[in-house]
A and B are shown apart, each in its own frame.
Chain A
């Protein structure tokens, strides 16, 4: 059965720190890997990764996929309190499978 594992489960950092969130997956018929940020309720889309080794970047956030080792990382540099959220990784193969998420708390 397809599986997505995220680590760490939770993380507390100070403003200005850099964080790396991990996502590993086991899947049949891989199509893409997606990262979401969830604050309060609705997850908002961050990145979709389909190719290995190509970094996607949006402001202070970046993400990369390794299809050989079956993992992805999400980096956030110069963290701000507004980055506090649950970060969800999802893998799309035959269906969309979510990990349990990483709870990030950024303290001022």
Chain B
């Protein structure tokens, strides 16, 4: 484990389901991120939270809804997803929002939308 824990590891959901991805870090970091990794595409930044406040949202569809209740936990709530949303969802954290000290990634959640 890297210090950033993501659950579940795998998730299969129907297009009408509602589910949540969870990310937890015990590194004392102040910033947390959600990334999407689709096959043969670069990692895409979805959301950035700094000190529990959302600072960037890269025009992600509203069917993805992030929540950051405290600096150690980050959720990604999913509803009415599409098959093209199937991907690996990675959570990351960094000591500061600038990421000048590097990023630590979780192991990811492999999401399949059927």
Q: Which A residues are closer than 8 A to B by beta carbons?
A: 4, 31-32, 34, 36, 40-45, 48, 88, 90, 92, 95-101
A41 CB contact (under 8 Å) in B43, B48, B103, B108 = B108
New contact pairs (5) apart from A97-B45, A100-B41, CB-CB < 8 Å: A31-B100, A34-B102, A43-B90, A95-B48, A99-B42
B105 at the interface (CB under 8 A from A): yes
Scan B76-100; emit 1 where CB is below 8 A from any A CB, else 0: 0000000000001010000000111
Cβ distance B87 to chain A, nearest Cβ, rounded Å:
12
Residues of B within 8 A of A44 (CB): 2, 105
A42 CB contact (under 8 Å) in B41, B48, B90, B100 = B90
B106 touches A42 (CB 8 A): yes
Q: Which B residues are closer than 8 A to A by beta carbons?
A: 2, 4, 33, 40-43, 45, 48, 56, 58, 88, 90, 98-100, 102-108, 110
B100 touches A32 (CB 8 A): yes
Residues of A within 8 A of B106 (CB): 42
| 5 residue pairs A–B, Cβ–Cβ below 8 Å | A4-B42, A31-B100, A42-B107, A90-B43, A97-B45
A96 touches B105 (CB 8 A): no
Residues of B within 8 A of A4 (CB): 42
Taken together as a complex, chains A and B put the C-alpha atoms of A63 and B75 apart, in Å, by: 35
Cβ distance B37 to chain A, nearest Cβ, rounded Å:
9
Taken together as a complex, chains A and B put the C-alpha atoms of A99 and B108 apart, in Å, by: 18
Given contacts A31-B98, A92-B99, A96-B99, contact A45 B104 (CB under 8 A): yes
B88 CB contact (under 8 Å) in A36, A41, A90, A98 = A41
Q: Which of B88, B103, B106, B110 has the most CB of A within 10 A?
A: B103
B42 touches A101 (CB 8 A): yes
Taken together as a complex, chains A and B put the C-alpha atoms of A2 and B6 apart, in Å, by: 29
Taken together as a complex, chains A and B put the C-alpha atoms of A4 and B44 apart, in Å, by: 12
